[in-house]
Homo-oligomer: A and B are copies of this chain.
Amino acid sequence: VKEARVKAIDINADLGEGFGAWSMGDDEAMLRVVSSANIACGFHAGDPGSIRRTTSRAAVLGVAMGAHPSLPDLVGFGRRAMAVTAGEVYDMVLYQIAALAAFARLAGSMLRHVKPHGALYNMAAVDLALACAIADAVRDFDPRLMLYGLAGSRLLEAGCQAGLTVVSEVFADRGYRSDGTLVPRSEQGALLHDPVQVSARAVAMVRDGGVESVEGVWVPLDAQTICVHGDSPGAVGLALALRAALVSAGFAVLAPGA
């Protein structure tokens, strides 16, 4: 008798991205949809209080926690590239991971992964020196942490070099260029909004191991985790639809290593 194997897929979201009196998205709802949460550490969003609340809720709801370190740019939400050195990146990532990890542990859980945020994520996708700085900081803090990065990126390459378990990420609601990079948010075709289309695309990416670029070329992608965004109107609905589609297609939504 042949045994059926259920393939697992992770759904992750950036959460805890309020700051002080300001909130961002519906974290409580998103924590009930995703298997992994990337939690802001204080440099683009997040403050000690929000970190405690978010790690606490993630622990209660059994969501795997990751640190979501950023460039120091609160007013720009960490989305603006900065000419930082590899040394600066190593130090800022270590600082943020360490702070987040303590809250995860005191919430009765533990830090499981690291995913750089915004401009730092994009810079590390193409700049090996910065990617290595991030991977080294993660490994030096705790070599058991997994490193999330864009499928096919330098960041995953650096993570492998550092001996880390890497998790290859895809975006079901973003357009891809033929070289595997994302269409910038400022361009046509950068964002898909229709839940049905995005959900179908997610299933296809995971099942087929790739996606068609905006230029019509097939781009092979290793889809180990799917990012859903929590900060746009309709975000929760889209995330729920995506999750339901994956489950219907026979996938188990689970954090890596869970």
The contact sample of 15 A-B pairs, CB cut-off 8 A, is A19-B19, A19-B74, A20-B74, A20-B75, A21-B24, A21-B45, A21-B77, A22-B23, A49-B88, A72-B75, A81-B83, A94-B102, A94-B106, A98-B99, A106-B141
Residue among B22, B23, B45, B48 making CB contact with A95, cutoff 8 Å:
B48
B80 close to A80 (CB less than 8 A): no
Max chain B Cβ within 10 angstroms of own Cβ: one of A47, A51, A75, A80 = A75
Give the copy number. 4
B140 close to A106 (CB less than 8 A): yes
The distance in angstroms between the C-alpha atoms of A7 and B106, with both chains bound, is 38
List of B residues within 8 angstroms of A22 by Cβ: 18-19, 22-24
Asked whether A163 is an interface residue with its Cβ less than 8 Å from the other chain, the reply is no
Closest to A140 in B: B106
A94 close to B48 (CB less than 8 A): yes
List of B residues within 8 angstroms of A73 by Cβ: 72, 82
The distance in angstroms between the C-alpha atoms of A87 and B80, with both chains bound, is 14
B91 close to A98 (CB less than 8 A): no
The distance in angstroms between the C-alpha atoms of A119 and B81, with both chains bound, is 13
Asked whether A174 is an interface residue with its Cβ less than 8 Å from the other chain, the reply is no
Residue among B20, B81, B95 making CB contact with A102, cutoff 8 Å:
B95
What are the nearest 7 A-B pairs in CB distance? Answer: A98-B102, A48-B91, A22-B22, A21-B77, A81-B83, A20-B75, A48-B95
**Interface flags, A62-80, vs B, CB<8A=1, else 0:** 0000000000111111011
List of B residues within 8 angstroms of A101 by Cβ: 98
List of B residues within 8 angstroms of A148 by Cβ: none
Closest to A22 in B: B22
The A1-58 residues at the B interface (CB cut-off 8 A) are 18-24, 42, 45, 47-49, 51-52
**Interface flags, A137-173, vs B, CB<8A=1, else 0:** 0001100000000000000000000000000000000
Asked whether A125 is an interface residue with its Cβ less than 8 Å from the other chain, the reply is no
Max chain B Cβ within 10 angstroms of own Cβ: one of A48, A73, A84 = A48
The distance in angstroms between the C-alpha atoms of A21 and B45, with both chains bound, is 10
Residue among B80, B87, B98 making CB contact with A83, cutoff 8 Å:
B80
